[in-house]
Each structure stands twice: as structure tokens, then as C-alpha cells.
């Protein structure tokens, strides 16, 4: 039997990015756990574990014989009516020995789990929260712990303590506690800057309360799952010790001892190995199976997948047209009359309110993107850019549903079930999110996360996956790919993390990349580098890029076409140069006038007065009318259709003819 020591926990558990976990409703996780526990295979595994525990507890009354009673007249018998599982070389009943041999082992395996939790959880919370020097010291200690082979330490302890099992299990728990520490620290680091944690901090809540109430719940799920896996590892480890005759009383039956006895007679009496082998394998497999099944219920590092309900709700026909205020304008065909790579037509995204009614937040949006071109979705906060982008990937948050048409290379995506959509996502259309640190799982190295995605999309041997992973890192401009590959997300700068996220998105070689404010979280010099990178990738790979931004500077820098969104609608769709030179919608003009790049020193920055109305407050007439200085009574009489105002240029304004002649409202001074 080989000695198995559980691998470091932090490298094993698919713990969610905590921010993503925080975003996931608790009820959803609880539901997923309940569903998992009802699966027949999980029920069988749980049933076996319960059987093992109960029969070990009731070993005395259940055993047909004294497990130590020798009967040399019935040595090495196979199964008989008297001895259902046969006897060993001293004629001892195997069934009775198996029943008595598991209890101490099962109990002893709890100790390392408890010890590692007692050490790892508080230390991980504290160090993850305060960071700084404490983090460096703790990291050093944990690295040392990981470098020590647990078996060697425990063997040494067994010699020094004269085979004292409790001390050996405690020491084993200390050695493996580094994994729990890393898991908790990584989750704490990612949670400590969440808005609600900040809010608690500024409200004067004590550090202990913040850690216990706001941060610990984020890590509880993975900890429970890890408990199963750690217990399974500890159980195997202790079985190995007892096989070596360490820790357990050699006079008492133990499962390791039974394996040892069976190994000695493997050539002449192989049956001896069968009952104990089956029991051991079944027990370890059941523990691992339940652990892994629970693991799958946790939100994983792929935030997008976490936020995706397994069955996506469908908008009822009556609500599928949003407010149905206007028909979409015709879309341009691609070169040679082909359909462009991504075509979005009459897209409606709605959320179901507490009253059960569907509230549109994206209302009949249409645009198309060609290979090698960039379409920018631009507008103020709350206009529906992100929801439009997420709907194209089938990644709407829970409660959201989409209708209309999203065609990718001619294939309709709206209405695809989650399984089919999962095949499309990543391999044909991929997402680069706003917050690289949220998109990366703090518990796994860059190489491991990227390798997972490469394996998922391309398969191949370990060497192939490794080569491709490094190639991808180099592709996104990371020169020291080997070193960055070994790093964990918290060791990366924001720009580097965003490059890694772009590499993740490119791993499946998609045709279309959707980037949601990919530079917002970065400082200006890095923003420029990331935009350059996207542009060069687009050139070399021929990607169609959908870029969400509120920054017209970014649009000017990288966009080919701009779709200006306001209150859930596209109000202007135009080639970027045309939009910048001669916008046809007053809102576009307002945004341009408000660009800080154009501000004159000493003159207050121009703004568009007022705010974007909430979806529930959208008027039935022009939604921008309340903020528009050109608005007349005619603008307040009914829905305004989007109209073709030039080749590839559309505007949703009834005064478009005048704006073409340069009649535009002057945005008013506001913030300086
Ligand atoms: N989970 C949700 N449930 C209900 N409404 C939502 C949800 N998420 C977003 N919304 C609403 O959808 C509308 C559009 O939001 P969206 O995030 O797409 O805007 P945005 O233009 O991307 O803004 P930002 O730049 O701030 O992300 C907003 O009114 C928002 O309140």
C-alpha cells in the first residue's frame, strides 16, 4: 500500500473567487447542495459511509466472533456459513476484525482535520485581513510546512513519543494546516475590499466582528467541502501508518493491520485481501466522491458560470419585445453580403420584479460586428451596456432573461439551453471582465487556471497543455511567462492580471471577444497598454471585439463602430469617426462635450444635466427628452424610432435633420 498524504488544500479546492461567491445568493448554493445530495450515486456513497460508521459503532454486538479469538482449526478459510468473509492465518474471523478495525481509524482521522481548521482558519482570516509583514511571515511558515513530507515528520514523532497516536495525529494536522490557511487567506484577501466589508469598517465594526460575520461566511462552503477531502486524505494516511505498524495497537485489529496481514499472504491466499480491500477502497472512494460532488456545488473560479442559472429563464412571449416601442433599423450586411460574425437584433433583457412582472432593462438593441472590427457600446452608467454584453454570452445574472436575436456566425444563441451555450462560450465567444482580480481564482496559480481552460477547449497531453499555456501568456505580452505562470493572482499587478484574463479568454480561440470595461480598474498608462494589446490581438487573430465603455476616449482609440446607449436603447449607431466628428443624437453630442480631454483649463467641465432614468421610470416617448435642450412637444408624444441617417449611421431623434446641420444643445457647465 502506498502512503498518501493529502495535497495542500489551497491547490486542491475549486474555491470560488470570494467576490463572486459573495455575489451568489446563499439560497442558490443551498439548493445546489440539496440537489447534489439527492443524486443516486451520492446517496449510495453517503449510505456506505453511514453503514461504515454505524457498523463500527456497533461492532461489539454485530460481530459474530471475538476479533482476537484464534481458532487454529479453521485457518485461512474462504467464506463459509460460520465465517461469512473467511478467516486469517490464526483462524480469526475476518468480518469481526473488519467491524472492529475501522472505529479508531475513523475517529483518529477527525483529529488532523480539527487541528488544521483550528490553526488555519483564524490565522488565514487574520493574515488575509491585515496583510503586510504578517502575510510575508505566514507565507514563509506555510512554504516550510509544505516542503516537509508529512510522513517523515510523523515517523519522527512516533519514534520520539513512543508511538503516541494522539500526538501523531495532532502533528499531522499541523503539517497539513497550511492548505487550510492558504484557502482562508486567499478568500479573505479577496473579500476584505468588498463594498459591504468596507461599509462595516467605516461604520466602526470591530475587526473580529468583520472577520466572523462578513468574511468567514464567504469561505465556509469551500471549507466544508475541503473537510471531506482532507478527512479522506487523513484516513488513508492513518491507514498507511497502521499498515506500517505505527500509531495503532498491534494487538487490536485495524484496517491497516488487516491489509498488512493480507499482503504477507498475497501469493498463497489472495482472498484475505478481498474483503478489507473492498471496504477500504469503497470508503475512500465514497469520501472522495461526496467531497467532489459537494465541490461541484460551490461557485467555481469561473465567475461567469457561477452567476449563470443552470436553466435560463425564458421571457414570456408577451414580454419578449420589451416596451415594443420601436422596430429595429435594418442592419448592414457583412462584406460580400455574408452575415457579420455577431449580429444582435431586437435584443431585450428583462428582470422579474417582486410583483412577478418583467421589467425590461435593455430594450430592442441591434448591432452587428465583423471579423477584425471593434464595436463599442458606450453610454453612462445604467444605460444597459453590461446587460447587453452579458446577454450575448448567455451570462445574465440570476433573475434576468433575454429575448430577440443574438446570432454568432449565423447560429442563434437566444433560446439555447445552458449545455449548448456552455459549448459556445469560451470556444466561440469569450468575455474579458472589468475586474481582473475578481475573474481570477485566488487559490490557484495562473498556470493551473489557464491550463484548466486550455485542457477544456483543446485537450492534449500535459506537455501540450503546458506549452499552449505558456504560448498564451506570451501572446498577451507577458515575457517572463514561466514565472508569471507560477504566480498566484494576489502576486500580480492589475495590468498583469488583466493580461492573464485576456489569455484565459483567448484560450478557446474564440471568434468574438466581449470586453466589459477592461481598463476601468487600471491606471491610465496600463489602460493604454491593454488597449494596444487588444488592438494587436484583434489584428493578428481577426477577432470581432465588442467593447463596453463609458469613455469616448477609448472609443476614439480603438473603436470602428459605436453604439451609443441611453436608457436601454441604442440612440445612435455610427462609424466612430462620424460619431466623433458629427454626432446626430443630442445625447452623443452631450457625451462628446463632456469629454475631459476636450476641457479647457479653468473652464468648468461640461456635463449632460440630469441623470439616466431607472428602467421603471422610462417614459413612453423619447427617453432623453427630459435632459435634452432640443426637446419639443413633438418629442413627448410617442416612441421615437431609430432611423437610418446615412450609410451605416442610425439615430433615434426626430430632430436628426437639424442636428445634421449642426444644431446641437450646448451641454451645461457642471462639475469642474
Ligand atoms: N441583477 C439585476 N436585477 C435587476 N436589474 C438590474 C440587475 N442588474 C442590472 N440591472 C439594471 O439594468 C440596468 C442596466 O444595467 P447595466 O449594468 O447594463 O448598465 P451599464 O450601462 O452597463 O452601467 P455600468 O457602466 O454602471 O455597468 C440598470 O438600470 C440596472 O439597475
- Mean pLDDT lowest among 361-375, 437-451, 611-625: 437-451
In a domain, 478, yes or no: no
Domain that holds residue 165: 9-300
Asked whether residue 577 carries a pLDDT value surpassing 70, the answer given is yes
In a domain, 476, yes or no: no
Asked whether residue 25 carries a pLDDT value surpassing 50, the answer given is no
Distance CA 166, CA 171 (A): 9
In a domain, 669, yes or no: no
CA distances from 415 to 116, 353, 489 (A): 47, 21, 35
User: Quick check: CB of 360 below 6 Å from ligand 1?
Assistant: no
Averaged pLDDT for residues 497-503: 90
- Mean pLDDT lowest among 161-175, 498-512, 588-602: 588-602
User: Quick check: CB of 615 below 6 Å from ligand 1?
Assistant: yes
Distance of alpha carbon 657 from the chain centroid: 49
Contact of 502 with 475, CB cutoff 8 Å? no
Distance of alpha carbon 593 from the chain centroid: 39
- Mean pLDDT lowest among 14-23, 223-232, 235-244, 332-341: 14-23
Asked whether residue 297 carries a pLDDT value surpassing 80, the answer given is no
Asked whether residue 112 carries a pLDDT value surpassing 80, the answer given is yes
Q: How confident is the model at residue 202 (pLDDT cuts 50, 70, 90)?
A: low
CA distances from 334 to 338, 340, 345, 371 (A): 5, 5, 15, 9
Distance CA 1, CA 242 (A): 11
Distance CA 232, CA 249 (A): 22
Say what the pLDDT of residue 16 is.
35
Helices (H) and strands (E) in the chain, counts: 28, 14
How many C-beta atoms surround the C-beta of residue 339 within 10 A? Answer: 15
Asked whether residue 203 carries a pLDDT value surpassing 60, the answer given is no
CATH code, domain carrying 123? 1.10.3720.10
Q: How confident is the model at residue 345 (pLDDT cuts 50, 70, 90)?
A: very high
Averaged pLDDT for residues 216-231: 79
Q: How confident is the model at residue 237 (pLDDT cuts 50, 70, 90)?
A: confident
Say what the pLDDT of residue 171 is.
93
Contact of 271 with 359, CB cutoff 8 Å? no
Helix axes 40-57, 273-297, angle to 10 degrees: 130
pTM comes to 0.59
Q: How confident is the model at residue 3 (pLDDT cuts 50, 70, 90)?
A: very low
Say what the pLDDT of residue 293 is.
79
Residue closest via CA to ligand 1's atom 30 equals 382
> Above pLDDT 70, what percent of the chain?
84
Task: Find the 361 Cα to ligand 1 centroid distance in Å.
Answer: 7
**Residue 565 CA: which ligand 1 atom is closest?**
21
Say what the pLDDT of residue 331 is.
66
In a domain, 228, yes or no: yes
**Residue, of 568 and 307, whose pLDDT is higher:** 568
| Rg (alpha carbons) of the chain, rounded to whole number | 31
Task: Find the 53 Cα to ligand 1 centroid distance in Å.
Answer: 51
In a domain, 174, yes or no: yes
Burial of 468 (0-12, 13-18, 19+ CB in 10 A): buried
Say what the pLDDT of residue 9 is.
35
**Residue 383 CA: which ligand 1 atom is closest?**
21
In a domain, 44, yes or no: yes
Asked whether residue 28 carries a pLDDT value surpassing 70, the answer given is no
Say what the pLDDT of residue 20 is.
37
Distance CA 653, CA 586 (A): 8
User: Quick check: CB of 379 below 6 Å from ligand 1?
Assistant: yes
Task: Find the 394 Cα to ligand 1 centroid distance in Å.
Answer: 15
Averaged pLDDT for residues 430-451: 78
Pocket test residue of 23, 383, 565 for ligand 1, highest count of atoms within 8 A of CB:
383
Computed over every residue of the chain, the mean pLDDT equals 81
- Mean pLDDT lowest among 220-224, 576-580, 658-662: 658-662
**Residue 390 CA: which ligand 1 atom is closest?**
18
Say what the pLDDT of residue 17 is.
36
User: Quick check: CB of 387 below 6 Å from ligand 1?
Assistant: yes
Say what the pLDDT of residue 614 is.
94
User: Quick check: CB of 166 below 6 Å from ligand 1?
Assistant: no
What was the ipTM of the complex prediction?
0.97
Distance CA 444, CA 434 (A): 20
Say what the pLDDT of residue 622 is.
94
Say what the pLDDT of residue 653 is.
93
User: Quick check: CB of 352 below 6 Å from ligand 1?
Assistant: no
Residue closest via CA to ligand 1's atom 29 equals 382
In a domain, 195, yes or no: yes
Residues listed for the chain: 672
Asked whether residue 29 carries a pLDDT value surpassing 80, the answer given is no
Task: Find the 654 Cα to ligand 1 centroid distance in Å.
Answer: 27
Distance CA 18, CA 299 (A): 9
In a domain, 268, yes or no: yes
- pLDDT tens digits, 140-169: 888 888 777 888 888 888 888 888 888 999
Say what the pLDDT of residue 656 is.
81
Averaged pLDDT for residues 49-64: 91
Asked whether residue 170 carries a pLDDT value surpassing 70, the answer given is yes
- Mean pLDDT lowest among 162-176, 202-216, 367-381: 202-216
- pLDDT tens digits, 414-429: 988 877 887 888 889 9
Asked whether residue 270 carries a pLDDT value surpassing 60, the answer given is yes
Task: Using DSSP, state whether 58 is helix, strand or coil.
Answer: coil
Burial of 575 (0-12, 13-18, 19+ CB in 10 A): middle
- pLDDT tens digits, 318-342: 777 777 666 666 666 655 556 788 9
Say what the pLDDT of residue 668 is.
47
Q: Count structural domains, the chain.
A: 1
CA distances from 452 to 112, 394, 435 (A): 30, 21, 20
Amino acid at each position: 500500500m502506498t502512503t498518501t498524504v493529502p495535497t495542500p488544500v489551497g491547490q486542491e479546492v475549486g474555491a470560488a473567487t470570494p467576490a463572486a461567491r459573495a455575489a451568489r445568493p446563499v439560497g442558490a448554493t443551498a439548493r445546489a447542495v440539496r440537489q447534489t445530495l439527492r443524486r443516486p450515486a451520492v446517496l449510495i456513497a453517503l449510505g456506505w459511509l453511514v453503514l461504515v460508521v454505524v457498523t463500527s459503532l456497533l461492532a461489539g454486538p454485530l460481530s459474530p466472533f471475538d476479533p482476537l479469538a484464534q481458532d487454529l482449526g479453521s485457518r485461512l478459510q474462504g467464506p463459509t456459513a460460520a465465517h461469512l468473509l473467511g478467516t486469517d492465518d490464526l483462524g480469526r474471523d475476518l468480518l469481526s476484525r473488519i467491524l472492529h478495525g475501522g472505529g479508531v481509524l475513523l475517529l483518529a482521522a477527525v483529529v488532523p482535520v480539527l487541528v488544521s481548521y483550528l490553526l488555519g482558519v483564524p490565522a488565514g482570516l487574520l493574515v488575509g485581513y491585515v496583510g503586510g509583514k504578517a502575510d510575508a511571515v505566514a507565507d514563509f511558515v506555510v512554504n516550510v510546512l509544505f516542503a516537509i513530507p508529512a510522513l517523515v515528520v510523523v515517523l519522527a514523532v512516533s519514534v520520539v513519543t513512543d508511538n503516541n497516536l494522539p500526538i501523531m495525529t495532532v502533528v499531522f494536522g499541523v503539517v497539513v494546516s497550511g492548505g487550510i490557511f492558504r484557502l482562508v487567506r486567499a478568500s479573505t484577501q479577496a473579500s476584505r475590499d468588498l463594498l459591504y466589508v468596507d461599509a462595516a469598517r467605516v461604520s466602526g465594526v470591530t475587526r473580529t466582528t468583520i472577520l466572523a460575520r462578513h468574511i468567514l461566511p464567504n469561505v465556509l462552503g469551500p471549507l466544508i467541502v475541503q473537510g471531506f477531502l482532507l478527512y479522506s486524505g487523513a484516513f488513508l494516511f492513518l491507514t498507511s501508518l497502521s499498515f506500517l505498524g505505527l500509531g495503532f495497537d498491534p494487538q487490536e485489529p485495524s484496517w491497516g493491520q488487516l491489509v498488512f496481514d493480507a499482503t504477507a499472504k498475497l501469493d498463497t491466499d489472495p482472498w484475505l485481501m478481498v474483503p478489507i480491500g473492498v471496504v477500504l477502497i469503497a470508503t475512500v472512494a465514497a469520501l472522495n466522491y461526496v467531497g467532489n460532488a459537494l465541490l461541484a456545488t460551490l461557485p467555481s473560479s469561473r465567475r461567469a458560470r457561477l452567476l449563470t442559472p443552470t436553466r435560463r429563464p425564458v421571457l414570456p412571449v408577451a414580454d419578449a419585445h420589451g416596451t415594443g416601442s420601436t422596430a429595429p433599423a435594418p442592419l448592414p450586411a457583412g462584406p460580400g453580403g455574408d452575415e457579420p460574425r455577431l449580429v444582435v437584433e431586437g435584443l431585450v433583457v428583462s428582470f422579474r420584479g417582486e410583483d412577478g412582472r418583467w421589467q425590461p432593462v435593455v430594450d430592442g438593441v441591434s448591432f452587428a460586428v465583423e471579423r477584425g472590427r471593434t464595436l463599442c457600446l458606450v453610454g453612462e452608467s445604467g444605460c444597459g451596456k453590461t446587460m447587453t454584453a452579458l446577454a450575448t454570452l448567455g451570462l445574465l445574472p440570476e433573475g434576468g432573461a433575454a429575448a430577440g436575436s443574438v446570432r454568432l456566425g449565423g447560429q442563434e444563441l437566444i433560446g439555447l439551453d445552458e449545455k449548448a451555450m456552455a459549448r459556445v462560450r469560451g470556444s466561440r465567444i469569450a468575455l474579458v471582465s472589468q475586474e481582473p482580480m475578481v475573474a481570477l481564482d485566488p487559490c490557484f496559480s495562473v498556470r493551473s487556471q489557464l491550463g484548466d481552460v486550455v485542457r477544456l477547449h483543446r485537450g492534449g497531453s500535459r506537455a501540450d497543455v503546458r506549452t499552449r499555456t505558456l504560448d498564451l501568456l506570451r501572446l498577451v505580452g507577458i515575457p517572463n511567462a514561466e514565472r508569471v505562470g507560477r504566480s498566484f493572482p494576489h502576486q500580480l499587478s492589475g495590468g498583469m492580471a488583466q493580461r492573464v484574463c485576456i489569455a484565459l479568454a483567448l484560450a478557446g480561440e474564440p471568434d468574438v471577444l466581449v470586453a466589459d470595461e477592461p481598463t476601468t480598474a487600471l491606471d491610465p498608462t496600463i489602460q493604454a497598454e491593454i488597449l494596444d494589446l487588444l488592438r494587436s490581438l484583434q489584428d493578428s487573430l481577426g477577432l470581432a471585439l465588442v467593447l463596453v465603455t463609458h469613455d469616448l476616449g477609448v472609443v476614439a482609440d480603438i473603436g470602428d463602430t459605436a453604439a451609443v446607449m441611453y436608457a436601454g436603447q441604442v440612440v445612435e449607431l455610427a462609424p466612430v469617426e462620424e460619431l466623433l466628428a458629427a454626432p446626430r443624437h443630442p445625447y452623443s453630442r452631450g457625451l462628446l462635450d463632456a469629454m475631459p480631454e476636450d476641457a479647457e483649463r479653468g473652464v468648468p467641465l461640461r456635463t449632460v444635466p440630469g441623470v439616466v432614468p431607472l428602467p421603471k421610470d422610462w417614459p413612453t416617448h423619447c427617453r432623453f427628452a427630459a435632459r435634452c435642450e432640443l426637446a419639443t412637444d413633438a418629442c413627448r408624444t410617442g416612441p421615437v424610432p431609430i432611423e437610418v441617417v446615412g450609410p451605416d449611421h442610425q439615430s433615434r431623434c426626430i430632430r436628426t435633420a437639424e442636428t445634421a446641420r449642426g444644431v446641437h444643445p450646448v451641454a451645461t457647465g457642471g462639475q469642474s
